Amino acid sequence: MPGLDGLIIGGGADVDPALYGETRVVPPLRELRRRSGSLSGFLLSLLLFPLIWIARRLSGLRGRHGGDRDRDALETELLQQALAEGKPVLGICRGAQLLNVVNGGTLYQELSDYYDEAPNLDTIWPLKTVDLVSDSRLAMVLGRTRCPVNSLHRQAIRDPGNKLVVVARDRQNVTQAIELEAETWVIGVQWHPEYLPQRREQRRLFRALVTAAGQNRGT
């Protein structure tokens, strides 16, 4: 990958389940109000939803649940090359899931069973709490072992891929972050740090990637 010092794979359409040996599960209908957790959270999410929709359209996303096989193929190739060459990688939401699948892991296609008592939030605001493994690369980057994050997903990592370890979970024990067991800087987060620029620890994540990319360029 000449000229590329690091790689970010962002959010978007569901990863094709055929890539991890499954067929697509049709998701049940959900109401945004139920997943927002509170009336205030619902109203805030509703106000900002058009901005999220526009961002997803600009990224070429045509259907969140319908998948995008062309994107799967392109990003799978990019990830494989980056990993083979030891490039720093940051996977965000779908990007973390695809990172896991590329390394032989699997996904939960539908998380509703995990959130019967406490519905999974659907919000760009940091209203979900995740706990991080204290000696993980991610915890050192963020500078904390407990972190408020947002939640815009209905799928998540099930079985971690080869040499990937779970380094963050939410209160329902659902995986929220993974990283590579190696010197190479490879992290995947289930939340969207790009929607949390007001959070210092989330800005640190991008700074750490840039630093790792700079160090990679010098090797």
Active site residue 93: yes
Active-site residue (options: 75, 93, 153, 179):
93
Cα–Cα distance measured from residue 114 to residue 15, given in angstroms and rounded to the nearest whole number: 20
pLDDT confidence of residue 58:
55
Q: Which amino acid is at 43?
A: L
Supply the pLDDT for residue 42.
Answer: 54
Q: What is the pTM of this model?
A: 0.82
- d(CA 61, CA 86) in angstroms, rounded, equals 28
pLDDT at 29: 41
Catalytic residue among 117, 183, 194, 201: 194
**CATH code that applies to domain 7-217:** 3.40.50.880
Asked whether 52 and 102 are in contact (CB, 8 A), the reply is no
Three-state secondary structure readout of 43-107: HHHHHHHHHHHHHHHHCCCCCCCCCCHHHHHHHHHHHHHHHHCCCCEEEECHHHHHHHHHCCCCE
| pLDDT of 115 | 61
Res 55 pLDDT > 50: yes
Delimit the domains of the chain by residue range. Answer: 7-217
32 alpha-carbon distance from chain centroid: 20
At 26, the pLDDT band (50, 70, 90 cuts) reads: low
pLDDT digits (tens, 9 = 90+) for 125-135: 999 999 999 99
Strand partners, 149: 128
Tell me if residue 65 is catalytic.
no
Residue 86 has pLDDT above 50, yes or no: yes
Compute the half-sphere exposure of residue 55: CA atoms within 13 Å on the CB side of its CA.
11
- Residue of 75, 153, 179, 192 marked active site: 192
Helix (H) or strand (E) holding 123: strand 123-132
Are the beta carbons of 107 and 155 closer than 8 angstroms?
yes
Q: What is the torsional sign of CA 59, 63, 64, 69?
A: negative
